[in-house]
């Protein structure tokens, strides 16, 4: 067992900083730059690939069985699909989520000049005083029936256009990131920024303890995971193992919780590699790290993207438990700490 300590308050501050940088899939440049700066400070060699993902390399003690580690920085969001006659906006979703999970959410439209216009995502029938409670509650929440009410004086399409808003502008969801005094982090987009923070916490703990990974390690911070092709590229061809760090699905019927590191045995893409699973369980047990084996029923990861793209890899998946995923999410510092520790144990394992 290696001797190191994960700085949980620092890792949490890194996470809150990252959560507050909008990064829907397709608009991730600023979030990638934030992570790159932190990795550079740890002395890693960093580079960006053509599609904008961050690739960091840590020369290990050996080059024989190179390993890769990945988490994704892109999140859910939306784009302006149409400027309506009444000046409000119709949206198209970026990533998969239920419309009711963003009802009433504050949002920000980023125009071509970089200005942001605030607004709120609402059903077209929002007021019970106008439509009555029954009609408001029975209106189906879908792309047709949801709109953005802009916080600007506009009631016409032309007035909205004169604010600089155009079809294709990104619409950011307010993450409302917060650390409670009970150690919970509640926010949107903990999937998968919580895992990016765990990787940062692990690498920092290793560098402070003077630990070096056993094998050369490629760290891929991917930026197109929510649409399915994040890690389809970015992992060097000679890697034989990939540890994906992504949220564990917490909820009814699940084994996962917010205080442990989830080890996924199977998701929608099928089983993860049994050798990886066995090794991760053994490492967690030996280091006394709280972990939960689990099956995630409606879930795909960058592990699937790497394999589908032809990667010849043993793939494992771990991550902090996240409640209400793809809605207003929550995890706990316990789960973050457990995940960061298991990453360290894996990287220094023989
Ligand atoms: Zn994810």
* 280-307 average pLDDT score: 98
pLDDT tens string 34-56: 999 999 999 999 999 999 999 99
Q: Is the pLDDT of residue 2 over 90?
A: no
pLDDT tens string 113-143: 999 999 999 999 999 999 999 999 999 999 9
Half-sphere exposure in the Cβ direction for 25 (13 Å, CA): 19
For all residues of the chain together, what is the average pLDDT?
97
Q: Is the pLDDT of residue 1 over 90?
A: no
CA of 162 to the centre of ligand 1 (A): 37
Amino acid 230: pLDDT: 98
* 208-212 average pLDDT score: 97
Please give, one letter per residue, the 3-state secondary structure of the chain. CCCCCCCHHHHHHHHHHHHCCCCECCCCHHHHHHHHHHHHHCCCEEEECCCCCEEEEECCCEEEEEEEEEEECCECEEEEEEECCCCCEEEEEECCCCHHHHCCCEEEEECCCCCEEEEEEEECCCCHHHHCHHHHHHCCCCCCCEEEEECCCCCCHHHHHCCCCCCCCEEEECCCCEECCCCEEEECCHHHHHHHHHHHHHHHHHHHHCCCCCEEEEEEEECCHHHCCHHHCCCCCCCCEEEEECCEEECCCCCCCCCCEEEEEEECCEECCHHHHHHHHHHHHHCCCCEEEEECCCCCCHHHHHHHCCCCCEEEEEEEEEECCCCCEEEEHHHHHHHHHHHHHHHHCC
CA of 325 to the centre of ligand 1 (A): 9
pLDDT tens string 214-254: 999 999 999 999 999 999 999 999 999 999 999 999 999 99
Query: Which residues are catalytically annotated?
Result: 225
CA of 190 to the centre of ligand 1 (A): 8
Amino acid 238: pLDDT: 95
pLDDT tens string 46-97: 999 999 999 999 999 999 999 999 999 999 999 999 999 999 999 999 999 9
CA of 75 to the centre of ligand 1 (A): 8
Q: How far apart are CA 258 and CA 186, in angstroms?
A: 11
CA of 83 to the centre of ligand 1 (A): 30
Amino acid 44: pLDDT: 96
% residues pLDDT > 70 (the chain) = 100
CA of 337 to the centre of ligand 1 (A): 18
pTM: 0.97
CA of 74 to the centre of ligand 1 (A): 9
CA of 220 to the centre of ligand 1 (A): 14
CA of 139 to the centre of ligand 1 (A): 30
* 108-113 average pLDDT score: 97
Q: Which class for 213: exposed (0-12), middle (13-18), buried (19 or more C-beta within 10 A)?
A: buried
Using 50, 70 and 90 to split pLDDT, how confident is the model at 171?
Answer: very high
Q: How many residues does the chain have?
A: 350
Using 50, 70 and 90 to split pLDDT, how confident is the model at 163?
Answer: very high
CA of 136 to the centre of ligand 1 (A): 32
């Amino acid at each position: 067992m290696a001797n190191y300590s994960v700085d949980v308050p620092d890792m949490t501050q890194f996470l809150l900083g990252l959560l507050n940088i909008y990064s829907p899939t397709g608009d991730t440049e600023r979030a990638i730059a934030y992570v790159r700066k932190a990795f550079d400070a740890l002395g890693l060699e960093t580079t960006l690939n053509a599609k904008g993902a961050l690739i960091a390399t840590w020369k290990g003690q050996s080059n024989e069985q190179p390993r890769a580690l990945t988490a994704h920085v892109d999140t859910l969001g939306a784009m302006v699909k149409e400027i309506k006659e009444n000046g409000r906006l119709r949206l198209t979703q970026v990533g998969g989520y239920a419309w009711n999970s963003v009802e009433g959410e504050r949002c920000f439209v980023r125009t071509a000049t970089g200005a942001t216009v605030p607004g709120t995502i609402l059903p077209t029938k929002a007021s019970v005083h106008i439509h009555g409670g029954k009609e408001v509650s029975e209106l189906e929440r879908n792309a047709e029936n949801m709109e953005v009410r802009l916080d600007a004086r506009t009631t016409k399409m032309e007035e909205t256009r004169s604010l600089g808003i155009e079809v294709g502008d990104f619409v950011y969801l307010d993450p409302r990131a917060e650390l409670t005094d009970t150690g919970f982090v509640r926010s949107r987009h903990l999937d998968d920024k919580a895992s990016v923070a765990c990787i940062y916490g692990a690498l920092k703990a290793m560098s402070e303890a003077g630990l070096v990974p056993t094998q050369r390690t490629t760290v891929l911070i991917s930026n197109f995971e929510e649409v399915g092709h994040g890690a389809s590229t970015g992992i060097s061809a000679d890697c034989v193992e990939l540890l994906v760090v992504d949220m564990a699905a917490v909820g009814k019927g699940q084994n996962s919780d917010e205080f442990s590191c989830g080890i996924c045995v199977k998701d929608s893409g099928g089983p993860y590699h049994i050798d990886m699973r066995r090794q991760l369980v053994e490492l967690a047990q030996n280091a006394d790290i709280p972990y939960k084996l689990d099956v995630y029923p409606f879930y795909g990861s960058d592990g699937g993207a790497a394999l589908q793209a032809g990667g010849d890899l043993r793939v494992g998946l771990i991550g902090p438990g996240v409640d209400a995923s793809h809605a207003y999410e929550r995890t706990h510092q316990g789960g973050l700490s457990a995940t960061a520790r298991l990453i360290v144990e894996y990287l220094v394992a023989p």
